[in-house]
């Protein structure tokens, strides 16, 4: 986890890299913005890389486990 403070809010960024059973690699980046008093916003985005170097965006349902 890395912490950044580009403005007045601190942002925590956590990258994930997982090997999937079918040989693809899954890359996910989770960002957490703490707004105030423990309340914050979590954003995630990710993609997969296949054995033939094809890159595909992950479906929203696949990203739910990272929220």
pLDDT score of 46: 97
pLDDT score of 67: 86
Q: pTM of the prediction?
A: 0.80
pLDDT score of 34: 80
25 HSE (CA, 13 A, CB side) = 9
Rounded to whole angstroms, the Cα distance separating 10 from 20 reads 32
pLDDT per residue of the chain (67 residues) written in tens, 0 to 9: 677 676 777 789 999 999 999 999 999 999 998 877 778 899 999 999 999 999 999 999 999 999 8
> Coil, strand, or helix at residue 65?
helix
pLDDT score of 1: 67
């Amino acid at each position: 986890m890395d912490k950044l403070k580009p403005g007045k809010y601190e942002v925590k960024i956590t990258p994930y890299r997982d090997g999937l059973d079918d040989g693809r690699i899954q890359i996910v980046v989770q960002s957490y913005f703490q707004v105030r008093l423990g309340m914050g916003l979590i954003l995630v985005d990710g993609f997969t890389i296949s054995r033939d170097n094809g890159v595909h965006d992950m479906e929203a349902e696949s990203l739910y486990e990272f929220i």
